Structure 1
């Protein structure tokens, strides 16, 4: 896939908070997610596309998303650079509680590439909002991950893999995003 100077990579919630939930992290639907995000970041840097790191925060909750506990930070091995934008959100999507839209527009960005953690929540919702705001959206599905939703009352459990496939279908069939892979975006074969 080609890139242009009007494209930005949005890395959504690839943060230490998720690894603190050891059982959940061990059961992730896509164990290659961090490798694939790293490939996307390296590619963006190589072609000159800005990288925007977005983390999720829930101040005052006492949990792994409470910044007071120290886990609301990008996973270290992804190696964010000080020169790259970093935003902390308190909403599911990356636009609602940040100045992300303003930053992207000021930089002349027309297309966003979305990757990160919680495919069907923060990644999908950010992609939908970006599309509603008029951005072209590329959703790199194998550079996202999620985990299963357990059964609740009369509702059946949903596997992480099913959640990922559902997100791909909805985003592409409803015109919110072009769904692609790390290999298609970067030409890389390692880690995917």
Structure 2
């Protein structure tokens, strides 16, 4: 992986306590149990280097959502807790670019490269990566700093979390993003 430009921004998507609610794993376990530790390593590297970063927080308007403001699940997980002064962008849809001003915030700072991590790979992460790619950003999706859950596919076949994750990565690879690992990003960030 080529070195990252100094203005490459880290986007951490929806890594909130809500994702630990048992409702998310009703069809089976999640993948990448080390994802939070990898996010913490990325955050630490970005903070040490003074690189730009954005915490994306899902502010669900669904009264039944585990991500609803005012609930314990709305809080960030410890590994992704913003420090005072770090930007937090709240969103109410799956894409971090819809109705949030994120694109304007990034462009005003001259940011053209995004390193993306978070949850859920095949939902908010995929929606954000697709839109970022369509908006012309150079996107690096950190495969081992994202995770998802098992799902039943359209034909009724159960799919493991790893299968769902891998298919989502395959959908994004090339056209929307380069798929990378935490180790590759840390090496490229210098």
- 2-structure distance, mates of 1:103, 1:10: 12
Q: What's the RMSD between the two structures over aligned residues?
A: 2.1
Match runs of 1:1-192 below 5 Å? 1=1, 2-21=3-22, 24=25, 27-150=29-152, 154-173=155-174, 175-187=175-187
TM-score when normalising by structure 2:
0.89
Q: Structure 1, unaligned stretches of length 5 or more?
A: none
What TM-score do the two structures reach when normalised by structure 1? 0.89
What do residues 17-52 of structure 1 show as CA deviations (whole Å, max 9, x unaligned)?
111237729821110010000111111122222111
Between 1 and 2, higher relative CO (CA 8 Å, sep ≥ 6) is seen in 2
- Count of aligned pairs between the two proteins: 186
Distance 1:23 1:124 in 2: 17
Instruction: Tell me, in whole angstroms, the C-alpha distance in 2 between the residues paired with 1:158 and 1:140.
Output: 22
Separation in 2 of the partners of 1:144 and 1:107? 26
1:58 & 1:79 partners in 2: Cα distance? 19
Displacement over 6 Å in runs of 4+: none
* Alpha carbons 1:5, 1:49 under 8 Å: kept: yes
Distance 1:73 1:41 in 2: 17
Cα distance in 2, alignment partners of residues 63 and 163 from structure 1:
22
The answer (yes or no) to whether the contact 1:119–1:167 under 8 Å persists in 2 is yes
